[in-house]
Chain A
Amino acid sequence: MAKHVLLNNVEHKDLRVITRRSAQFGDDVMCALTFPAEFRGVQAHYPIFFRKAADSGQFQPFAMFGLRDQENLFLDDQGWDATYVPMTIERQPFLIGFQPGAAGAGAERQMVVHVDLDSPRISRTEGERVFLEYGGISDYLGRINSILRAIHQGIASTPAFVAALLEYELLESFALDVRLNDGTEHRVAGFYTINEERLGALDGGRLEALNRDGHLLPIFMVIASLSNIRALIERKNRRLRR
């Protein structure tokens, strides 16, 4: 059960957050939502795939950490084995909320930070301080604010990116058939990726349009990320050996 409350420096002045990565804190997830602006960081370690949201059928990009549900092949008892951790993982247990603007109807909604008090990361004794002794924002919270803002803008930019992919018919459904060293076979299905052939066949006009709208770079970051599939399978095989 989640318990989201508005973060404030009175009720939460002594709040600490355990930031180390562990299954104990819910990091054993197969994938995490990402967004075009983050693709360049994500592609260094993780394959990027698209899936349809269950309630809308709309495509969303994900960074993959494992080959089945609740499997994170980057997570071991030492922590998270990669230098970059996607922002939607890092932001936990914080999330963005909205409040009506101070001037009432017509004013812009304000972005505010909420925290999930039921998260196992919440502590009174260990981890990063959220607020400073006299109520100021800690460096940690400052970083969280930036991350939340980036996630918010990133998710808002995703529909336009997906629309461009669909317009040029660049998305295709994808099933990954994996054969592991122990002989077991495994299918990862329900994912979509970018069709390189159709990408390669795009004419100058379309490439220019994609570039002008800022979609070309993320598209190639997705393509580049696919070479991480082999590494992911290798991680799985290494685990089986243990």
Chain B
Amino acid sequence: MSGIVGRIVVVGGGSAGWLAAGVIAAGHRSADAGRVQVTVVESPEVRTIGVGEGTWPSMRDTLRRIGVSETDFIRACDASFKQGSKFVGWVSGRDDDQYFHPFALPQGYTEADLVAQWQAGHADVPFAELVSYQPHLCRLGRAPKQIATPEFAAVANYAYHLDAGKFGEFLRAHCTARLGVRHVLDHVTGIVARDDGDIDALETREHGRIAGDLFIDCTGFASLLLGRHYDVPFVHRKDVLFNDSALAVQVPYSDERSPIASQTIGTAQECGWIWDIGLPTRRGVGYVYSSAHATDEQAEQALRRYVERSAGAPAAAAISPRKLGFSPGHRAKFWHRNCVAVGIAAGFIEPLEASALALIELSAAMISDQLPATRGEMDIVARRFNESFAYRWERIVDFLKLHYVLTGRRDSEYWRDNCGPATIPERLRELLSYWRHHPPSRYDLPRVDEIFPSASYQYVLYGMGFRPAASVTARLSGDAERAEGLFRESAALTQRLLAGLPENRVLLEQIGQHGMQRI
């Protein structure tokens, strides 16, 4: 027992297991040839969660980092392009109630006080549409790049929608064929502990003991290692974010030329919200709701009505919803001794901003970048990891709650309860009060690697109808003119992009036929 950390054992497949394995294996290939060996132990009996279809733009970097071709990924995972989210019905529930949260930063962000000039000169225009080209691209179903744009390069900042099951399989193939990851298809029957409390090995049905130096718990809700074996407590956040159930379905398009949406759609309902994700071959739709406010039957009725409105009565009648129950929240710590949890094993929250895959990427990157060379160093890295992700989970909860607290809806207890003062985190309440006179900025989110940048808070805050109080101090001279210039720049850029960008389906067909260039 030299204390050298070389054997990385990932427990569980799926997106979490294979992304973690891939990022670590790709990060330690040439420098440490032979020292770092990544093994994924995947149970043939346990199914992956099967949803989790939205990513953030960081996924482009993650895929490139592990050596994946974007063309291969798009073809194999039934992927489409995601440019942000559109939230429908969250403010008033009326027909015209919608706002965008795009990935692109506002034009000239930080060069001028855009918010003040928006209020002074264009108060009737939705904020996101004034400061960014992206909502306009989304409204017209345009793609964020052209067939001539190199792999992973963007014309408009973008992420992906993908088939979760196919994604896991694609990553598995890439990891085992190209990254030297060992795949053990077997069921874990027990955990062998060392005297000091570390995990020594896994007991498996067919392969006996699988020893390791660092164990990565990607076992999902079971949280076999961190939760079950180490009994790390779970921090419940249902007091802030009520949703604890989901009903997921897949909905076919009415014909194979139907437009593919450029963004995720989140439509508020009486007791939750419905996600709608457009892949090339079908849509992924699901109702996320609070079991304290709605029964499964009520939720299913609402889901059918939604599907009927967008896909017709026969499609609505044909859906067979899959029910998922979950506890919104996360572990009190994520890295304990020589075991770190990634993915649902670490925590789960409603997919309102598709944070799950992004957290997996961030976790895998930190483990790989900071991989301790010896067991002695590991506790230092573990402490950093826990601190970093505890902070991130707090910010995720704050940011998701922001989508609820400003609602004008009072049509159900669910919405009324969501505005209850006891359900609002202290830090969010303080920020909301501060934002009456200052737009969200980097001062509110001081870390280098914030999970949501201040621009995202602006998009949601103002999209939800929040309006700052009139300014009590004089603004910097020339600032209004600068802001106006930026609004014009955004409008001009919008026209140029609309002239050059194809519709999503056109681009995806071109990619299917020709592939994308690497350069």
Point out residues on A near B: beta carbons under 8 Å: 52-59, 166, 171-173, 192
Docked complex Cα distance between A53 and B518 (Å): 15
Q: Report whether B519 and A57 are in contact in the complex, using a CB–CB cutoff of 8 Å.
A: no
Q: Report whether B519 and A173 are in contact in the complex, using a CB–CB cutoff of 8 Å.
A: yes
B257: Cβ under 8 A from any A Cβ: no
B146: Cβ under 8 A from any A Cβ: yes
Q: Report whether B519 and A55 are in contact in the complex, using a CB–CB cutoff of 8 Å.
A: no
Q: Report whether A52 and B517 are in contact in the complex, using a CB–CB cutoff of 8 Å.
A: yes
> What residues of chain B lie closer than 8 Å to A58, measured between beta carbons?
514
B516: Cβ under 8 A from any A Cβ: yes
Point out residues on B near A: beta carbons under 8 Å: 146-149, 510, 513-519
- Name the one of B149, B513, B518, B519 contacting A56, with C-beta atoms under 8 angstroms: B513
> What residues of chain A lie closer than 8 Å to B515, measured between beta carbons?
57
The 8 closest A-B pairs by CB, nearest first: A57-B147, A52-B148, A57-B148, A56-B514, A57-B517, A57-B514, A58-B514, A173-B519
Q: Report whether A54 and B519 are in contact in the complex, using a CB–CB cutoff of 8 Å.
A: no
Given the contacts A54-B148, A57-B146, A57-B148, A171 and B514 also touching, CB distance less than 8 Å: no
Q: Given A55-B147, A192-B519, output 19 extra A-B contacts at Cβ < 8 Å.
A: A52-B148, A53-B148, A54-B146, A54-B148, A55-B510, A56-B147, A56-B514, A57-B146, A57-B148, A57-B149, A57-B510, A57-B515, A57-B516, A57-B517, A58-B514, A166-B517, A166-B518, A172-B519, A173-B519
Docked complex Cα distance between A173 and B516 (Å): 15
- Which DSSP category, helix, strand, loop or mixed, fits chain B's interface? loop
> What residues of chain B lie closer than 8 Å to A173, measured between beta carbons?
519
> What residues of chain A lie closer than 8 Å to B513, measured between beta carbons?
56
Docked complex Cα distance between A38 and B518 (Å): 27
- Interface hub of B510, B514, B517 (most chain A Cβ within 10 A): B517
Docked complex Cα distance between A166 and B516 (Å): 12
> What residues of chain B lie closer than 8 Å to A171, measured between beta carbons?
519
Quick one: closest B residue to A171, CB to CB? B519
A-B contact pairs, 28 of them (CB 8 A): A52-B147, A52-B148, A53-B148, A54-B146, A54-B147, A54-B148, A55-B147, A55-B510, A56-B147, A56-B510, A56-B513, A56-B514, A57-B146, A57-B147, A57-B148, A57-B149, A57-B510, A57-B514, A57-B515, A57-B516, A57-B517, A58-B514, A59-B517, A166-B517, A166-B518, A172-B519, A173-B519, A192-B519
Quick one: closest B residue to A52, CB to CB? B148
Give B497 Cβ to nearest chain A Cβ, in Å.
Answer: 15
Docked complex Cα distance between A172 and B148 (Å): 14
Docked complex Cα distance between A56 and B517 (Å): 10
Quick one: closest B residue to A58, CB to CB? B514
> What residues of chain B lie closer than 8 Å to A54, measured between beta carbons?
146-148
> What residues of chain B lie closer than 8 Å to A55, measured between beta carbons?
147, 510
Docked complex Cα distance between A56 and B507 (Å): 9
- Interface hub of A55, A172, A192 (most chain B Cβ within 10 A): A55
> What residues of chain A lie closer than 8 Å to B146, measured between beta carbons?
54, 57
> What residues of chain A lie closer than 8 Å to B516, measured between beta carbons?
57
Quick one: closest B residue to A59, CB to CB? B517
> What residues of chain A lie closer than 8 Å to B148, measured between beta carbons?
52-54, 57
Docked complex Cα distance between A59 and B513 (Å): 15
Docked complex Cα distance between A58 and B146 (Å): 12
Docked complex Cα distance between A57 and B516 (Å): 7
Docked complex Cα distance between A66 and B147 (Å): 26
Give A193 Cβ to nearest chain B Cβ, in Å.
Answer: 11
Docked complex Cα distance between A171 and B510 (Å): 22
Docked complex Cα distance between A53 and B515 (Å): 13
